[in-house]
Amino acid sequence: MPLLIRAIREAIESRQRNPGGWSYAAHQDAIEPTCLAILSCRNQPGDYLGRAVDFIERAQNPDGGWAAFTGDDQPSCWATALAVLSLIAVRPASKRLDRGIRWLVRNHGREGDLLWQLKFRLVDRDVQFDPAKYGWNWIGGTTSWVIPTAFSLMALRRAKRRLSGGPDFTLRIHLGTAMLLDRMCPGGGWNAGNGVAFGVPYSPYIDATSIALLALRGHEDQPGVLQSLFWLSRRIRGCPAPYSLAWGLVALAAYRDVDLGIKEVLAQTNQTLLAMVAERIDILDIATLAISMLAIEALQGENAFEIAT
C-alpha cells in the first residue's frame, strides 16, 4: 500500500503542466482534474501544490465563477464548486474563495425561474420532477443536474463554517437538498439528471449516486438515502471502472457507521481498486488517479468529501 500511494503521488506530480494545473489526457488545463489533484495532495505540501492553487486562483472569472477548462469564458457550477472545495481545504484565507461561494449562491438551474417552473408544470411534462425544487446546472441556461448540484451542496455546506450565511444561503442548501431527493431513481440511486422521463424509469449511475450521497450526509432519516446506500453497496461489487469504483468507496466510507453491511463491502472492494490502479497507473487519467488516492485516504479514515454532521 505505501508503495502504491507513493507511485500515485509521483504520477500526479510528474504530469503537472507548466501553468500549474492538470489536464485529463490532452493538452488543455481543466478544473476537475486540477482540483481533485489538489485535494489528493493536500496533506503533502510542496512547490507543486502551491503552483496548483495559484493556478486555480488565476483561473477564476471576473464574476467569481470558474469555467471547466482554461480558455472558456462561461463559468460552470460544477467547476466552481470543485474550486471552492479545493480552496477551503488548502487556502481558506483566499479572497477569491468568498467570491466563488457567493457565485454559487446566486446561480441555479433554469427551473429556478418562475416562467420555467410554469412551463414544466403546464406544458413540458414528459420529464417528471418538481420544478420548485431546483439545484445547479452544468452551465448557465440549462436545468439542474445531479452532479453539479451535489458538488455545489458540498461546497456550501462546508462554507457554512466560513460565512455567516443568510436567508439566500440557507435557502439554496434547502432547495438543492430537496432537488436531489426529488430526482432519485425509483428504488434508489441517481442518474445524471432525472429519475423518470417519458414514463420510463432511468437506471442509476455509480458515480452520480456516490457524489449525491456525499452531499446528503446527515440526511439518513430520508428513506431514499438509505435505499441509495443499499443500491450502491450492492452495485459497486464488480464495477469495472476505477473512476466510478473510487467514488463509490469514498461515499460508502462516509457512511461506514450505517448498518447496511457497508464495512464488509469496503473491505471487499478496496483490494479491487488497488489492483486496478496498480495495473494501469501509467495510463489512467489524472482525475481517476486523484480520486483513487482520495478513496484510499477515505478508507484509512480521512475523507476529503465527508461533511461533519
% of the chain residues with pLDDT over 70: 91
Higher-confidence position of 195 and 66? 66
Please report whether residue 306 resides in a domain. Answer: no
Question: Is 309 inside any structural domain?
Answer: no
**Structure confidence at residue 45 (pLDDT):** 79
Sign of the torsion formed by the C-alpha atoms of 127, 132, 136 and 142: positive
Whether residue 138 is contained in a domain is answered as yes
Q: How many CB atoms lie within 10 A of CB 139?
A: 16
Helices 95-106 and 77-90 pack at an angle, to 10 degrees, of 150
Q: Residue 191: which domain range?
A: 2-299
**Cα three-residue angle 290-309-261, rounded to 5 degrees:** 70
Residue 52 clears pLDDT 70, i.e. is over it: yes
Query: Stretch 263-270: mean pLDDT, rounded?
Result: 92
83, 31 Cβ separation under 8 angstroms: yes
Q: Are 24 and 34 in contact (CB under 8 A)?
A: no
pLDDT band at 115 (very low <50, low <70, confident <90, very high): low
Cβ-defined contacts of 97-101 (< 8 Å, 24+): 97/162, 98/162, 98/163, 99/60, 99/64, 100/60, 100/64, 100/65, 100/66, 100/155, 101/155, 101/156, 101/159, 101/162, 101/163
CATH number at residue 240: 1.50.10.20
Residue 162: φ, ψ to 5°: -95, -40
What's the average model confidence in pLDDT over 180-184? 93
Mean pLDDT is lowest, of 20-29, 41-50, 128-137, 145-154, for 128-137
> Does residue 82 belong to any structural domain of this protein?
yes
In a domain, 196, yes or no: yes
Report yes or no on 26 lying in a domain.
yes
Q: Is 253 helix (H, G, I), strand (E, B) or coil?
A: helix
- Tell me, yes or no, whether 307 lies in a domain: no
Which pLDDT does position 44 carry in this prediction?
Answer: 85
pLDDT in the model for residue 25: 74
pLDDT value of residue 2: 85
> What's the per-residue H, E or C state across 164-220?
CCCHHHHHHHHHHHHHHHHCCCCCCCECCCCCEECCEECCCEHHHHHHHHHHCCCCC
Return the percentage of the chain with pLDDT > 90, whole number: 70
Q: What is the mean pLDDT of residues 53-63?
A: 96
Q: Where are the alpha helices (DSSP H) in the chain?
A: 2-14, 31-40, 47-58, 77-90, 95-106, 114-122, 146-159, 167-182, 206-215, 223-235, 242-254, 262-280, 286-299
Alpha-carbon span 283 to 33, nearest angstrom: 15
The pLDDT tens digits of the residues spanning 203-242 come to 999 999 999 999 999 999 998 999 999 999 999 999 999 9
The answer to the question of residue 308 being in a domain is: no
Task: Please say whether the beta carbons of 137 and 109 come within 8 A.
Answer: yes
Residue 291 vs residue 142, higher pLDDT:
291
Measure the CA–CA gap between 6 and 139, rounded to whole angstroms.
Answer: 36
Q: How many domains does the chain have?
A: 1
In eight-state DSSP terms, residue 240 is -
pLDDT band (50, 70, 90) for residue 167:
confident
